[in-house]
Structure 1
Amino acid sequence: MDVNSAVWTVPARAREFGFFVDGQWAEAGDRPMSERKSPAHGVAVTRTVRCTKADIDHAVRVARTAFEDRRWSGLPGGERASVLLKAAAGIRARVEELALLESLESGKPIGQAIGEIEGGANIFEYAAGAARALHGDAFNNLGDNMLGLVTREPIGVVGLITPWNFPFFILSERVPFILAAGCTIVSKPSEVTSATTLLLAEILSDAGLPAGVFNVVTGSGSEIGQALAEHADVDMISFTGSTAVGRSVLLASAGNFKKVGLELGGKNPQVVFADANLDEAADGVVFGICFNAGQCCVGGSRLVVEKSIAAEFEALVAAKMARVRIGDPLDPNTQMGAIVTAAQNATILDYIEAGKREGARLVCGGEAYPSDAGQFVRPTVFADVTREMSIASEEIFGPVLTISTFETFDEAMAIANDTIYGLAASIWTSNLDKATDAFRRIRAGRVWVNTTINNGPELPLGGFKQSGTGREAGIYGVEEYTEVKATHIALGRREPWVS
């Protein structure tokens, strides 16, 4: 849809939600509610339930029953695909509603929110095809008396914990693939951006998903999310968020040795060689750090630039940074919106002050962006950054770019890989051989050449090193939620072992 085709306004009162279990809405009852204020406007926009551990137990029981009676896992792939396609249509029919809630809760520009909702529908459509394509193998080379089969079976009940930075899009990179595999789900969205996850439950139900297959329980990550990660009747946990919390999820999974999928933090390099198209590279670098106000796990926060062009390129980046349109997320012309919470805003500003103290040279930005309401940060660039500085190695999760220089290809690769993370990287060069050598040597789950943060559901995503385990999206994303079983079928009469 055209972002300019609607009038976008802050609602007069907060929209209130229950939670969704066993195919129906559950009321808050005597449970407390969480009120979410728009980070850009400072007014309440949604109210959601603070569920209890008992609610988690109930949701898991419901999901277990739905899995074991095979109301979903026993269906042909074509029937699952039909539900996913209807869900995609349901998402498209409610784009404006979903996008407005996404923008109000997260602070992201409305145009970006619309793009992410529509992108989510695209993923559901792709996953519908994957539901039909999932298959195993046959081994006809075991002799005339034996046939071997390898089948993929749904892993079971999946606990899904999603973050606040891309609430609907990251949800859509997981849910349709989990459903395509035949699993059931208990989903726990971030407590500050729960609305669109709850509405997806309604959309899926309207699309014909059987009751109990997709359940949403809301509340804090430290209590409800932890309870889901620890739950003994959950077969797999999928978590997207910080590396620190991911570590606690991994430890929590040890109780029943559940499978774990983790997409965690990143400190992603943007490697710019002297032979690149510098104007295009500068535009990509600015987009890579300003997209979603820098609150993007795959955003390029480390600029690694060839020394011979460093001064020229720094000037190009600074000039483009100055033209980024910051402001009200409901203004269709806004390119960079608000920081999601006051705590995250304070963290970003603290890192900016640390960069100044540690001796980095401030190129531009370096302060809050003035606003009558909400919290915003100017896009910030630091040059002359050394590896000892905290801004060089720690994930800031804000619009803060650091610049380091290199003289040789090997030095560029060493700097790019000098991190505990390995989530994403971008390479800018006009030399195909150089680009190929670079993307082979950089240790990251996703690498872009002459572009950044640009992908579709066909290719997998995930991280190396402390950026996570497992892969989402593509056919890999369906296989991630399956168990592999080997079956040997004896043919003909058995030769007696006991005579």
Structure 2
Amino acid sequence: MKHHLMYINGEWLGGDLEKLDVINPANGQIVGSVPIGGEEEANVAIDAAYDAFQTWSQTTAYERANYLKRLYELMIEHRDDLAQTMTMEMGKPINESIGEVTSAAAFLEWFAEEGKRVYGEILPTHTTSKRLQVWKKPVGVVAAITPWNFPAAMLARKMGPALAAGCTIVIKPSSESPLTAIKMIELCEKAGFPKGVINLVTGSSSKIGKAIMENEKIRKVTFTGSTEVGKILIEQSAHQVKRLSLELGGHAPLIVLNDANVDLAVKGTIASAFRNAGQTCVCANRIYVQSGIHDEFVEKFSEAVSQLKVGNGTDVNVDIGPLVNRASLEKVSHHVEDALSKGASLMTGGKLITKDGGTFYAPTVLSNADPSMVIMKEETFGPVAPIQKVETIEEAIVLANDTPYGLAAYVFTDSIAIGTRLIEQLNFGIVGWNDGTPSAVQAPFGGMKESGVGREGGREGIEAFLESQYVSIAIS
């Protein structure tokens, strides 16, 4: 077992601190440890980032792009090693981990180029004695708080635009899966980023978070996680009016209409609902199928789900890995038991899988779901797909929008007219139309309502790390 360190101002530190073990959820084995840092370590990292910002912000977009491109190349070169680390620490099937590392690297490549496309403006003037301009400037030191379920992609999606814009960064990875982030920072060091530009602190979320929110040198916080924590950050940010980007919880509806291609809908629904064992914020959490094809869809979907292989993610043939911890296992079990007690029918799955001491749950399909069930209202974050029959498109829209969340939604219909009108009425930031995996590097990712503030990725992704400065020049 390797004892990893924190990275602050170009040095690996924290060897004298108490350690936190990182557990492989597939077998309960310790795969590494990290230092338990707190406010002191966070503030040292923030000071380093603040000092480095004075010079990093003055480099050209081309210089910053070269660093990011070198990091991109290193991530592709070390893709398999990064993927193996990810699978070992959080259970994701190895093929999904490889895909995530590739996607994470693509974010770095994208923003390396997007940093060169940060344009100011020359405004039309109201008088001949002035010239009006808008300049774009980096917002300052950024704190990035990343989740356990996509430890590489979420870090790259935050780090890439921040560095490309001229910001420096302090990273707090999840304690459930910090090793992937540490591996990425090792590659940052190899890529030659100047000291202090990139810093990583592991340990106590509450103590490190306290330092981030109280230190005036942090001008922006970018966070992916639960809506409950996001609301706390909004309150804490008010004291210094820190800028926030928040990608929060979801409870994605998936609608299958009578004219849909059933086989395509089954394939797309599985891709959405069971990716990473259902542990994604954009998973299809509740499925609404129109009555005309309901029975056919349920039969084909249940049969396909029953064929998914569960096991240790290091096996290339595994489709479903473990849940991240025991608490997640208990939550999934509760959601399924509640649904069954209220009249849901178990089509497949519905049980814990005892295997090698891991936290496995069988991929599950429930039919006859209804709004009284907890699973139709709360995010499950597990491999469970509840299905409710609907009669009309209007009914599906009402049910889909009946949630405080608005991150992702999915629609399966072959009608351009129906699909267009339906999507116009869905209050979600991301919609997959006949597509169970709509995320893309070049597209804005984020939600409406309680699913967050701001967008990551795409052309909009870098704007969150920039300030607009208006300049009025008086001339004689």
Q: Which residue, out of 190, 195, 198, partners 1:211?
A: 195
Contact 1:299-1:453 at 8 Å conserved across structures: no
Q: Where does residue 389 of structure 2 map in the other structure?
A: 405
Contact 1:87-1:203 at 8 Å conserved across structures: yes
Corresponding residue SS for 1:404: strand
Alpha-carbon deviation of 1:414? 1.0
Corresponding residue SS for 1:386: coil
> Structure 1 CA distance, aligned partners of 2:214 and 2:449?
23
Aligned pair 1:441/2:428, yes or no? no
Corresponding residue SS for 1:475: coil
Contact 2:439-2:445 at 8 Å conserved across structures: no
Contact 2:38-2:204 at 8 Å conserved across structures: no
Q: Where does residue 22 of structure 1 map in the other structure?
A: 9
Moved more, 310-319 or 447-456: 447-456
Moved more, 430-439 or 51-60: 430-439
Q: Where does residue 8 of structure 1 map in the other structure?
A: none
Aligned pair 1:370/2:357, yes or no? no
Q: Where does residue 422 of structure 1 map in the other structure?
A: 406
Contact 2:14-2:37 at 8 Å conserved across structures: no
Corresponding residue SS for 1:462: coil
Q: Which residue, out of 271, 276, 299, partners 2:283?
A: 299
> Structure 2 CA distance, aligned partners of 1:341 and 1:66?
38
Alpha-carbon deviation of 1:300? 0.7
Q: Where does residue 381 of structure 1 map in the other structure?
A: 365
Gaps of at least 5 residues in structure 1 are: 1-13, 493-499
Moved more, 138-147 or 367-376: 138-147
Q: Where does residue 153 of structure 2 map in the other structure?
A: 169
Q: What amino acid does structure 2 have at the position aligned with 1:176?
A: G
Alpha-carbon deviation of 1:439? 1.9
Aligned pair 1:317/2:301, yes or no? yes
Corresponding residue SS for 2:194: coil
Aligned pair 1:109/2:93, yes or no? yes
Aligned pair 1:144/2:128, yes or no? yes
Q: What amino acid does structure 2 have at the position aligned with 1:43?
A: Q
Gaps of at least 5 residues in structure 2 are: none
Q: Which residue, out of 270, 273, 276, partners 2:254?
A: 270
> Structure 1 CA distance, aligned partners of 2:37 and 2:388?
46
Contact 1:243-1:264 at 8 Å conserved across structures: yes
Alpha-carbon deviation of 1:64? 1.0
Q: Where does residue 126 of structure 1 map in the other structure?
A: 110
Q: What amino acid does structure 2 have at the position aligned with 1:52?
A: G
Contact 2:268-2:437 at 8 Å conserved across structures: no
> Structure 1 CA distance, aligned partners of 2:178 and 2:397?
40
> Structure 1 CA distance, aligned partners of 2:108 and 2:15?
30
Corresponding residue SS for 2:56: coil
> Structure 1 CA distance, aligned partners of 2:423 and 2:392?
16
Using structure 2 for the length normalisation, give the TM-score.
0.98
> Structure 2 CA distance, aligned partners of 1:202 and 1:131?
23
Alpha-carbon deviation of 1:136? 1.4
How many pairs are equivalent? 476
Alpha-carbon deviation of 1:437? 1.4
Contact 1:162-1:171 at 8 Å conserved across structures: yes
Alpha-carbon deviation of 1:454? 2.9
> Structure 2 CA distance, aligned partners of 1:371 and 1:238?
37
Q: What amino acid does structure 1 have at the position aligned with 2:28?
A: G
- The percentage of aligned residue pairs carrying the same residue is 35
Alpha-carbon deviation of 1:97? 1.5
Q: Where does residue 50 of structure 1 map in the other structure?
A: 36
Q: Where does residue 21 of structure 2 map in the other structure?
A: 35
Corresponding residue SS for 2:238: helix
Q: What amino acid does structure 1 have at the position aligned with 2:48?
A: V
Corresponding residue SS for 1:103: helix
Q: What amino acid does structure 2 have at the position aligned with 1:24?
A: E
RMSD between aligned alpha carbons?
A: 1.3
Contact 1:226-1:249 at 8 Å conserved across structures: no
Alpha-carbon deviation of 1:32? 0.6
Contact 1:236-1:258 at 8 Å conserved across structures: yes
C-alpha distance after superposition, 1:128-156 (max 9, x if no partner): 11010111111133332111111111110
Contact 2:120-2:134 at 8 Å conserved across structures: yes
> Structure 1 CA distance, aligned partners of 2:104 and 2:189?
17
Alpha-carbon deviation of 1:233? 2.4
Summarize the alignment of residues 25-104 of structure 1 with structure 2, pairs less than 5 Å apart. Answer: 25-29=12-16, 31-67=17-53, 69=54, 71-104=55-88
Q: Where does residue 182 of structure 2 map in the other structure?
A: 198
C-alpha distance after superposition, 1:146-177 (max 9, x if no partner): 11111111110111100000111111111101
Alpha-carbon deviation of 1:36? 1.2
> Structure 2 CA distance, aligned partners of 1:404 and 1:223?
43
Contact 1:190-1:220 at 8 Å conserved across structures: no
Contact 2:404-2:449 at 8 Å conserved across structures: yes
> Structure 2 CA distance, aligned partners of 1:229 and 1:162?
15
Corresponding residue SS for 1:45: strand
Contact 1:39-1:339 at 8 Å conserved across structures: yes
Moved more, 362-371 or 55-64: 362-371
Contact 1:158-1:237 at 8 Å conserved across structures: yes
Contact 2:431-2:438 at 8 Å conserved across structures: no
Alpha-carbon deviation of 1:343? 1.5
Contact 1:142-1:148 at 8 Å conserved across structures: no
> Structure 2 CA distance, aligned partners of 1:41 and 1:86?
36
Alpha-carbon deviation of 1:85? 0.3
> Structure 2 CA distance, aligned partners of 1:220 and 1:347?
24
> Structure 1 CA distance, aligned partners of 2:214 and 2:282?
28
Alpha-carbon deviation of 1:23? 1.4
> Structure 2 CA distance, aligned partners of 1:444 and 1:230?
32
Q: What amino acid does structure 2 have at the position aligned with 1:36?
A: V
> Structure 1 CA distance, aligned partners of 2:272 and 2:20?
32
Q: Where does residue 284 of structure 1 map in the other structure?
A: 268
> Structure 1 CA distance, aligned partners of 2:353 and 2:225?
26
Moved more, 265-274 or 386-395: 386-395
Q: Which runs of 4+ in 1 moved over 4 A?
A: none
Corresponding residue SS for 1:476: coil
Q: What amino acid does structure 2 have at the position aligned with 1:98?
A: L
C-alpha distance after superposition, 1:208-240 (max 9, x if no partner): 221101100001323323432343321111110
> Structure 2 CA distance, aligned partners of 1:449 and 1:332?
29
Q: Where does residue 5 of structure 1 map in the other structure?
A: none
Alpha-carbon deviation of 1:183? 0.7
Alpha-carbon deviation of 1:418? 0.9
Contact 2:162-2:465 at 8 Å conserved across structures: yes
